[in-house]
């Protein structure tokens, strides 16, 4: 057997990180957003602990505006692998009537950031696996694999622990918790190549098919259910679209595509001209905005 190829090396590094957290932390959880990165994370976690099941539950933060197909896929996956699935929604936000189009930037703060903090505090998790990758955004490029959060879930980029070799220091002070990013060194392309090679199951929304959409601020928004307010000028069109990233459906833009299987997606990516975050509403308010959100506790 020869030396490992690049995907095998990335895979090994991620598996090592999973095992290290389980060995050193008391109560880990995996944040499962149902997206492609979460799918790869889960695939790696299943490998890391086989023949045992991953010794931690999955946690999904449901905003109430999740794509229906994602929720179906989430439940099917949890059932297939016999995993404990926790779903948390910020009920205060629901009661306050917070909606994607009514509260602007506060929406993601209330329904995602706050909800995540609530859930972590509620269950007392001391470590949470997330699918963040360093290639996503400039401030992520400097984040550690083991990223510490204060008791108030804040990230202090100035005060990060050095990470050398594969020696991760998981020791926490009282009240602190860790976000762990097993996919830190993966790129979007690596994730797709791995999905292809390993035949990792993903939500069908990533693959093109004719779907009903409306145009909003230059983006194509899926008419996923009848809660999306439609004005008289809105025209529902059926177009062949797919999603590069998945969030809350009223905030996630689809792209026109005919890529209906994974190799076609990869081919499309090789010729694409825009980054994956471009389709998201969250981080458009200036180049430093994701860094600010992270300091406040956004994953």
Partner 1 sequence: MNRPADKSLLRFLTCGSVDDGKSSLIGRLLYETKMIFDDQFAALKDDSRKVGTRGGEVDFALLVDGLAAEREQGITIDVAYRFFATEKRKFIVADTPGHVQYTRNMVTGASTAELAVILIDARKGVLTQTRRHSYLAALLGIRHVVVAVNKMDLVDYSRDIFTKIERDYREFAHRIKLEAITCIPVSAVAGDNVTSRSRHTPWYGGPSLLEHLESVTLRDPAQGAAFRMPVQWVNRPNPEFRGFAGMIASGVVRRGDALRALPSGRTSTVARVITPEGEALEAVAGQCVTLTLADEIDVSRGDVLCTADAAPAVANQFEATIIWMHDEPLLQGRAYLLKIGTKTVTATVAPIKYRVNVNTMEHMAAKKLELNDIGVCGLELNGAIAYESYRDSRVLGGFILIDRLTNNTVGAGLLHFALRRSQNVHWQALDVNKRARAVLSHQKPCILWFTGLSGAGKSTIANLVEKQLHAEGRQTYLLDGDNVRHGLNKDLGFTDQDRVENIRRVAEVARLMVDAGLIVLVSFISPFRSERRMARALVEPGEFIEVFVDTPLEQAEARDAKGLYKKARRGELKNFTGIDSPYEVPEDAEIRLDTTELAPEAAAARVILHLREAGIVDMGYDPVI
Residues that bind partner 1 (CB under 8 A): 1, 3-12, 15-16, 19-20, 22-23, 47-53, 134-135, 138-139, 141-142, 157-158, 160-167, 169, 171-173, 184-185, 187, 189-190, 193, 197, 263, 266-267, 270, 272-275, 278, 287-288, 291-292
Least Å distance, CB 201 to partner 1, is 17
182, with CB counted inside 10 A (0-12, 13-18, 19+), is buried
Least Å distance, CB 51 to partner 1, is 6
Neighbours of 157 (CB within 10 A): 13
Residue among 37 and 135 whose Cβ is closer to partner 1: 135
Residue among 11 and 224 whose Cβ is closer to partner 1: 11
Residue among 122 and 142 whose Cβ is closer to partner 1: 142
Least Å distance, CB 144 to partner 1, is 9
Q: What angle do CA 139, 140, 141 make, to 5 degrees?
A: 90
Least Å distance, CB 164 to partner 1, is 4
- Cα dihedral value 197, 67, 125, 128, nearest 10: 30
The SS3 assignment for 146 reads strand
Q: Minimal CA–CA distance to 284: which of 253, 255, 256?
A: 253
User: Cis link prior to 51 (omega < 30° from 0)?
Assistant: yes
Least Å distance, CB 151 to partner 1, is 14
Residue 291's Cβ-side half-sphere holds a number of Cα atoms within 13 Å equal to 13
Whether the Cβ atoms of residue 31 and residue 38 lie closer than 8 Å to each other? yes
Least Å distance, CB 110 to partner 1, is 24
The SS3 assignment for 173 reads coil
Q: Which long-range contacts (CB under 8 A, 24 or more apart) does 267-273 make?
A: 269/188, 269/189, 269/192
Least Å distance, CB 89 to partner 1, is 32
Q: List, in sequence order, every residue forming a beta bridge with 146; answer none if it has no partner.
A: 180
Residue among 238 and 292 whose Cβ is closer to partner 1: 292
Q: What angle do CA 133, 111, 121 make, to 5 degrees?
A: 80
């Amino acid at each position: 057997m020869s030396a490992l190829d690049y995907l095998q090396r990335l895979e090994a590094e991620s598996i090592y990180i999973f095992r290290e957290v389980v060995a050193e932390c008391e109560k880990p959880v995996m944040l499962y957003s149902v997206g492609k990165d979460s799918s790869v994370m889960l695939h790696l976690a299943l490998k890391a602990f086989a023949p045992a099941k991953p010794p931690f539950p999955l946690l999904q933060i449901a905003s109430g505006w999740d794509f229906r197909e994602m929720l179906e896929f989430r439940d099917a996956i949890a059932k297939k692998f016999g995993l404990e699935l926790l779903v948390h929604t910020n009920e205060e936000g629901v009661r306050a009537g917070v909606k994607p189009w009514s509260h602007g930037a506060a929406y993601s703060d209330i329904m995602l950031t706050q909800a995540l903090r609530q859930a972590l505090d509620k269950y007392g998790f001391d470590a949470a696996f997330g699918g963040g990758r360093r290639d996503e955004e400039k401030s992520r490029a400097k984040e550690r694999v083991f990223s510490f959060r204060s008791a108030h879930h804040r990230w202090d980029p100035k005060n990060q622990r050095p990470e050398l070799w594969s020696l991760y220091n998981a020791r926490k002070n009282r009240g602190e918790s860790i976000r762990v990013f097993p996919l830190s060194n993966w790129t979007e392309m690596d994730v797709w190549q791995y999905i292809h090679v390993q035949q990792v199951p993903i939500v069908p929304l990533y693959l093109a098919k004719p779907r009903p959409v409306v145009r909003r601020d230059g983006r194509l928004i899926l008419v996923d259910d009848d809660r999306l307010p439609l004005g008289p000028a809105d025209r529902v069109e059926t177009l062949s679209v797919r999603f590069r990233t998945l969030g809350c459906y009223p905030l996630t833009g689809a792209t026109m595509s005919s890529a209906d299987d994974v190799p076609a997606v990869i081919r499309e990516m090789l010729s694409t001209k825009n980054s994956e975050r471009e389709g998201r509403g969250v981080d458009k308010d200036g180049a430093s905005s994701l860094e600010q959100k992270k300091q406040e506790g956004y994953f």
